[in-house]
A and B are shown apart, each in its own frame.
Chain A
Amino acid sequence: DIQMTQSPSSLSASVGDRVTITCRASQDISNFLVWFRQKPGKAPQSLIYAASSLHSGVPSKFSGGGSGTEFTLTITSLQPEDFATYYCQQYDTYPPTFGGGTNVEIK
């Protein structure tokens, strides 16, 4: 199975900050990567597919980049609702596999 590694595993930031999360794949997955976020007790929310395309309704403060084995998720102007855990997932190869998550906390 393809291993997905996220870094950092957690970070502290302030409202208004810009943060970047990295996701690395254990082999080339082209751009077959999604990002989503999860808040405690809530349904996960999709953010980005195909590494850089925004899901419907997701604001442009979220942006994704990368291809091959290294990918990034950048969030600008952090707001209180953005403090959550963010995950990547590859869909290049069965089975789909997930990163371990990055917890974005309020500083």
Chain B
Amino acid sequence: QVQLVESGGGLVKPGGSLRLSCAASGFIFSDYWMSWIRQTPGKGLEWISYISPGGTTTNYADSVRGRFTISRDDAKNSVYVQMNSLRAEDTAVYYCGRVGSTVKAGFVDYWGQGALVTVSS
């Protein structure tokens, strides 16, 4: 069965950096686009980034563009998000997702359980 397991969350100071990882299993990872989505109590769910198979194409939400970088290692069945210049408003649970369809803007069909990132001094 499809499994996605995030890791790397934690507490970081404003302006700091953090890298989240997502280990995938149960499907041919290299065939799928992957995504990161975050959730906060105040703003709800927010899509933040996509990456294509092979990593040749990436896309970002305006709120994180220039600060976050998505990447993948198909040999390790893993997708990552490097988060720099973190702000208090980046505090959220971050979910990794497998993109089930790339029709139009696409959607996630399988989600991980999430990793909590807290940005606070």
Contact = CB atoms under 8 A, between A and B. Distances in A.
Interface of A: 32, 34, 36, 41-46, 49, 55, 87, 89-101
Interface stretch (B71-79, B83-91, B108-116): B108-116
Q: Tell me what chain B mostly uses at the interface: helix, strand, loop, or mixed.
A: strand
B26 to A, nearest CB: 13
Which 8 pairs between the two chains have the least Cβ-Cβ distance? A98-B45, A91-B105, A44-B111, A43-B111, A96-B47, A43-B113, A91-B107, A96-B105
Interface string B93-109: 00100001101111111
Contacts of B100: 46, 49, 55
B45 A46 contact: no
Contact of B105 (A41, A55, A93): A93
Contacts, number: 62
30 contacts: A32-B103, A36-B111, A41-B113, A43-B95, A43-B110, A43-B112, A43-B113, A46-B108, A49-B100, A49-B109, A55-B100, A89-B45, A90-B105, A91-B103, A91-B104, A91-B105, A91-B107, A92-B104, A92-B105, A93-B104, A93-B105, A94-B105, A95-B47, A95-B61, A95-B62, A96-B105, A98-B44, A98-B45, A98-B46, A98-B47
Interface residues of B, number: 23
Nearest to A42: B113
Q: Tell me what chain A mostly uses at the interface: helix, strand, loop, or mixed.
A: loop
Given A36-B111, A46-B109, A89-B45, 10 more contacts: A44-B95, A46-B110, A49-B101, A91-B105, A91-B107, A92-B104, A92-B105, A95-B62, A96-B105, A97-B47
